[in-house]
Structure 1
Amino acid sequence: MDSNQNNISRRNFLGTAGMLTAGALLAPKFLFSQAKAEGPVEIIIKAAATAKINVTKLRGNIFMLEGSGGNIAVLNGPEGKLLVDGGIGVSKPHVLAALNSISNQPIKVLINSHWHFDHTSGNEWLHQAGATIIAQDITREHLTRSIHQEDWNYTFAPLPKAGLPTVLFKKEHTHHFNGEKIHVETYRPAHTDCDSSIYFPNADILHVADTFWNAYYPMIDYSTGGSIDGMITAAARNVARTTNHTVVIPGHGAIGNRAQLIEFHDMLATIRERVSKLKNQGKTLNEVIAAKPTASYDQKFGGFVIKGDFFTKLVYKGV
């Protein structure tokens, strides 16, 4: 059996998750009474156990791993490996094989961009492999408790102690490793209330995590302080911090650039304006969804977990 047959397609399995998400919007009681065992999160976790990890070399000794939840950045060198995000824990064998394909250097540092499971559920095994975990203090707080995500009808359990960050910061953090002076800075609440960007100045590579989903509608997590207005502000900040030379690592999607950041920002701002106008006219959520305020963007941005109708719901909730 070839690798395409042996591995569940990332687009297919997350597309299925997206259909379930859209279904949850329109008929949540029916969806989850009929399929309680497998909502979107369960499907994503199951698929991550077999998903192929793609390794892309960027600049210098920096690589991107794609296929285990959020995109993972890897800085490799004589001091070992530094990772930005650790993916989904069930992907451990595949992530480890991908890391070993880069070099046999040990894993030394892990930076969490925010608390979400597809970026942090690999924390425990990465710590056990030798990584010191760095994160914003709010990220650690979220990882210590159960959080119910209403929009996906899922409750995330706290991480075990071995998976919790031990080096904490409030607003920014600088880390020297393998000749890079890595800058970590927080955003105001956007995707969540604990988003951070990670910048590698020598290589001019900016990991913006889930404040940017390249060519996809993003999730906005209202359960932990996210907002559409915050996402728009974060998107504008990302544009301002980059040049045409900057390599941008998104939370999800292909490696990006400044032009794509601008396109993403404009999409968010336009849909927010459309939804707000309809809501201010007194239209209900279902009426706004029926008006298809995302229609002109669905072909470009609707091919991943979040479909146009569900993104409309997220925006409606925040305006």
Structure 2
Amino acid sequence: MGSPKLPSMSRRGFCLCCVGGAFAATTGWLTPRQAYAEARGIVSLIKDSAATSPITTYKLRNNISVLEGSGGNIAVLTGPDGKLLVDAGIGVSRPQLSKALAELGSEPVAHLINTHWHFDHADGNEWLHAAGAKIIAHENTRKHLSVVQRVEDWDYNFLASPAGALPAEVFAKEHHLKLNGASIALKYYGPAHTDSDVSVMFDEANILHAGDTFWNGIYPFIDYSTGGSIDGMIAASDANLAIAKSDTIIIPGHGKPVSNKAELQGFRDMLVAIRDNVGNLKKQGKTRDEAVAAKPTAAFDANFGQFLVDPGYFTRLVYEGV
């Protein structure tokens, strides 16, 4: 018997980017297993989808917006000092992203922050740098972008980025900016989704971009190839919760792009519960496949397990880290 098809979802429910649109348009809805086995590869599918996906703009407050549709969710701060972007999306989205940015104002792009090194957040670095952006990131982001970097779970080797795509300014723990009247605090999480993740807090606006340490309403990918871990994801969630207030707007890396502390708390509680469930199974001597068969994610699958990182795949990711 074949695996059941995934239900259709809105674009805001996508994972790793708007890859669901590509599946629907070219192959029909695929199961996660089929998607990862697709001969052209998950990275190619994601890029193909980004090439045609529209960009949706959500205006927040204090001249800050979030753009959805090119890889991870992109925050934009506008003002006389030029636009600041948090994450660059995927390079093939340049026409759509340029249009969305122009609709937010005539100021040039002056600064770009990468929340981490993954291609769906940093692939647009080169063209944005050419357009005038100074790129800022954690030192490990520059390290990973500077060399051939393999992600085992994607079965993909990313080539070293050209010089213009590399962050010009890097930091180890914290970095602070004052632009367009906004105080912006960048903080390194430590190893979480990867070993290069940073948060971006817009203090006066009370808006937090959490990058891929928060996937809103979907199970997250954890990149063990470059230092990620389930415990690190939980620690990052705790750090985000400590920063956030009840009225803080939280921008996740993926999923519904405008979120809040209550949804973040639900994400964190899910991570802890599944980590503990899988850890107990591993302590009992269960193999990875036996742990998957025990369905340790069952209580959360309806809310988080309906897209690319399915319950079985997420269980395998957690199993690797407990």
Query: TM-score normalised to the size of structure 1?
Result: 0.91
CA contact (8 A) 1:45 1:90 kept: yes
Query: After alignment, is 70-79 or 302-311 more displaced?
Result: 302-311
Please tell me whether residue 230 in structure 1 is matched to residue 232 in structure 2. yes
- The structural deviation recorded for 1:10 is 3.2
Taking the aligned partners of 1:288 and 1:91, their CA distance within structure 2 comes to 39
CA contact (8 A) 2:18 2:46 kept: no
- The structural deviation recorded for 1:253 is 1.4
- Give 1:184's aligned amino acid: L
| SS of aligned partner of 1:49 | helix
Taking the aligned partners of 1:303 and 1:52, their CA distance within structure 2 comes to 22
Render the CA deviation track for 1:136-195: whole Å, top value 9, x for unaligned: 111101000111111111111111111011011111101111001110000010100010
1:310/1:15 Cα in 2 relative to 1: closer, same or farther (>3 Å)? farther
- The structural deviation recorded for 1:112 is 0.6
Which of 244, 250, 253 matches 2:252? 250
Please tell me whether residue 273 in structure 1 is matched to residue 276 in structure 2. yes
CA contact (8 A) 2:246 2:260 kept: yes
Backbone CA RMSD of aligned residues: 2.0
CA contact (8 A) 1:21 1:152 kept: no
- Give 2:266's aligned amino acid: E
Please tell me whether residue 90 in structure 1 is matched to residue 98 in structure 2. no
* Equivalence for 2:4: none
Which of 33, 53, 60 matches 1:22? 33
Taking the aligned partners of 1:304 and 1:49, their CA distance within structure 2 comes to 21
Please tell me whether residue 161 in structure 1 is matched to residue 163 in structure 2. yes
Taking the aligned partners of 2:126 and 2:286, their CA distance within structure 1 comes to 46
Render the CA deviation track for 1:61-96: whole Å, top value 9, x for unaligned: 000000101000000011110000000111010011
1:166/1:106 Cα in 2 relative to 1: closer, same or farther (>3 Å)? same
* Equivalence for 1:60: 62
- Give 1:128's aligned amino acid: A
Render the CA deviation track for 1:215-274: whole Å, top value 9, x for unaligned: 111110000000001111111111111111100000011211000111000000000111
* Equivalence for 2:7: none
Please tell me whether residue 113 in structure 1 is matched to residue 115 in structure 2. yes
* Equivalence for 1:191: 193
* Equivalence for 2:6: none
Which of 205, 210, 214 matches 2:216? 214
Please tell me whether residue 284 in structure 1 is matched to residue 292 in structure 2. no
Taking the aligned partners of 2:306 and 2:106, their CA distance within structure 1 comes to 36
Taking the aligned partners of 1:286 and 1:195, their CA distance within structure 2 comes to 30
- Give 1:101's aligned amino acid: E
Please tell me whether residue 13 in structure 1 is matched to residue 21 in structure 2. yes
Please tell me whether residue 129 in structure 1 is matched to residue 140 in structure 2. no
- The structural deviation recorded for 1:21 is 4.5
Runs of 4+ with deviation above 4 angstroms: 14-21
* Equivalence for 2:266: 263
1:214/1:104 Cα in 2 relative to 1: closer, same or farther (>3 Å)? same
Render the CA deviation track for 1:109-135: whole Å, top value 9, x for unaligned: 001110000000000000000100011
- The structural deviation recorded for 1:303 is 2.6
Render the CA deviation track for 1:16-37: whole Å, top value 9, x for unaligned: 799565358xxx8xx3xxx43x
Query: After alignment, is 50-59 or 233-242 more displaced?
Result: 233-242
1:14/1:184 Cα in 2 relative to 1: closer, same or farther (>3 Å)? farther
* Equivalence for 1:307: 310
Query: TM-score normalised to the size of structure 2?
Result: 0.90
- The structural deviation recorded for 1:108 is 0.4
- Give 2:309's aligned amino acid: I
1:121/1:304 Cα in 2 relative to 1: closer, same or farther (>3 Å)? same
Taking the aligned partners of 1:185 and 1:308, their CA distance within structure 2 comes to 31
- Give 2:284's aligned amino acid: Q
Count of residue pairs brought into register by the alignment? 304
CA contact (8 A) 1:182 1:201 kept: yes
- Give 2:108's aligned amino acid: P
Taking the aligned partners of 2:319 and 2:92, their CA distance within structure 1 comes to 34
- The structural deviation recorded for 1:15 is 6.8
- Give 2:146's aligned amino acid: T
Taking the aligned partners of 1:128 and 1:11, their CA distance within structure 2 comes to 27
* Equivalence for 1:73: 75
